[in-house]
A = this chain, B = another copy of it.
């Protein structure tokens, strides 16, 4: 048996490729092979390792680098052709990274923690600290589900992601407020769960008593898509130049998704128990929803928003009543000027609001921070 396992380990090493069948949880400790650990956080450093027998150049690229589009760090060949590099631990945050082997991006085979950003699956590094204390797993978990709602407006069944808080099943009479949480261009109904760590953030905040137990609904904001592309469902050809197109999704959200949720989940169906928040394009959707349906949501949170409103629209919204208007943007975001202008308009019209400016740009690090911040202010 030992010989079989050793031969197997050798095969694996030679091929560098496994097509295991229900075997991946086993570890084959072959002759003289120590398990490779990557990434390994030790005190103030983190070490990345990759076995690459025949590579000429191996580099590391990570989202903590100043230029995440191109920067790389050289890795060095060590014993048994394990390449490694030890770097100072980046500040507490969630990062994605990959290796670059002779010019080709490679995921870390030792790291089972993966985030999906649109079309790419990337290894994840969570650096512990105060900033990230709500990004890891809590003790008590809510339920994440993927129901489909039927959209007459968009002409298809469409997939939603829905988070119900811990205790939802055990308290069958209890009703909950609902946060509608919208992604940006390039994202889909899984973006806030994967990149945004929405389930972990809500689990932790609720467990600590910092946020009200709430349902969180994460729809797909691309009106031509039924669901994330990972499901391989053909996309519907739609004319982006059609002015009706832009608001079709917002209309489906407010007149189809909200009723679907309030029918199929134990949701409190009133404006004071409805919040809407969204990042980038989803921030635009958030502003549009507040303009087109000013009486629907009492909590409105545009984040790094691609969108704006006229003074008249803000006046109408103010009249309809707003319990929290949380406007957030990074100070180096390419949309920061728009946030500044929106802030000025809201001030001019006397719509009380919180203007939350963070360091940094148009990145998930900011959107996780915003969710972790405004979720504590909802439904109170």
Interfacial residues, chain A to chain B (CB-CB below 8 A): 8, 11-12, 14-26, 50-57, 61-63, 68-72, 96-98, 100-107, 109, 112-114, 117-122, 136-137, 139-141, 143-148, 157, 159, 166, 169, 183-188, 191, 195, 222, 229-233, 260, 263-264, 279-280, 362-364
- A122 CA to B23 CA in the complex, in Å? 14
Once bound together, how far apart are the Cα atoms of A122 and B380, in whole Å?
45
The answer to whether A362 and B103 have CB atoms under 8 Å apart is: no
Asked whether A147 and B137 contact (CB < 8 A) given A169-B264, A185-B22, the answer is no
Judge whether A15 and B70 touch: CB under 8 Å: yes
B119 engages A147 (CB within 8 Å): no
A113-B232, A186-B25 known; A14 vs B70 contact (CB < 8 Å): yes
A20 to B231, CA, bound (A): 21
Given contacts A118-B22, A169-B147, contact A112 B16 (CB under 8 A): no
CB pairs A–B below 8 angstroms (28 shown): A12-B69, A14-B70, A15-B70, A15-B72, A16-B103, A17-B100, A19-B61, A19-B117, A20-B117, A20-B118, A20-B186, A22-B117, A22-B191, A22-B280, A25-B188, A25-B222, A54-B102, A56-B102, A101-B102, A101-B104, A107-B107, A112-B119, A112-B229, A114-B230, A136-B232, A137-B232, A145-B146, A169-B263
| Cα-based distance from A185 to B140 in the complex (angstroms) | 26
Chain B, Cβ-Cβ closest to A123:
B121
Quick one: closest B residue to A150, CB to CB?
A: B170
Partner of A102, one of B52, B119, B188: B52
CA distance A101 to B17 in the complex (A): 10
Most chain B C-beta atoms within 10 Å of own C-beta, residue among A23, A114, A157: A23
Given known contacts A104-B106, A169-B264, what 12 new A-B pairs fall within 8 Å (CB)? A12-B70, A21-B364, A22-B183, A22-B185, A23-B118, A25-B229, A52-B104, A54-B56, A101-B106, A106-B106, A139-B157, A169-B260
Q: How far, in angstroms, from A61 to B118 measured CA to CA in the complex?
A: 25
By a CB distance below 8 angstroms, the chain B residues around A100 are 15-17
Rounded to whole angstroms, the CA-CA distance of A229 and B191 in the bound complex is 20
Docked CA distance A147–B143 (Å) = 5
Taking the nearest CB of chain B, how far is it from the CB of A281, in angstroms? 8
Whether B69 contacts A8 by the Cβ 8 Å rule is yes
Query: Which residue of B20, B104, B117, B145 contacts A143 across the interface (Cβ within 8 Å)?
Result: B145
